[in-house]
């Protein structure tokens, strides 16, 4: 069965389950930088790049294997077809500046906008 490409905007305001493939403190296998936040994907989804829809988990300062939280924003890369969800513990609502600061370790290489 083929999974259909999802629209990342449909996840805004939704509670989602994130499976971590790059926990806080882990190294990127190809580029060598360290993940400053937990980073994972939404299982059983397909994003614009053909892989699962990616997600940054903010507001948790320990490495995780999985996380359930609220999608409060999307980092939409304008020069790459690969949106990233911003998922936080229920009740949190970080500022765009906080999101930019926490994801800069990876997003600095891409043009992007934050969608809410």
- pLDDT tens-place string over residues 9-29: 999 999 999 999 999 999 999
Picking from 36, 51, 43, the residue whose alpha carbon sits closest to that of residue 5 is 51
Residues of the chain with pLDDT under 50: 1
Task: Tell me if 60 sits within 8 A of 103, measured CB to CB.
Answer: no
Provide the pLDDT for residue 52: 95
Q: Which pLDDT score is estimated for 2?
A: 55
pLDDT score for 71: 98
Token digits of residue 73: 């924003």
Q: Dihedral of CA 70/33/97/112: which sign?
A: negative
**Residue-level pLDDT at 4:** 74
């Amino acid at each position: 069965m083929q999974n259909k490409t999802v629209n990342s905007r449909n996840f805004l305001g939704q509670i989602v389950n994130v499976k971590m493939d790059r926990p806080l403190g882990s190294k990127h296998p190809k580029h060598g930088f360290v993940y400053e936040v937990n980073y994972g994907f939404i299982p059983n989804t397909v994003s614009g790049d053909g892989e699962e829809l990616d997600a940054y988990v903010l507001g948790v300062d320990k490495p995780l294997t999985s996380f359930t939280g609220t999608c409060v924003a999307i980092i939409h890369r304008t020069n790459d077809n690969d949106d990233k969800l911003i998922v936080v513990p229920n009740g949190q609502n970080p500022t765009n500046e906080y999101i930019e600061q926490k994801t800069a370790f990876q997003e600095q290489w891409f043009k992007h906008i934050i969608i809410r």
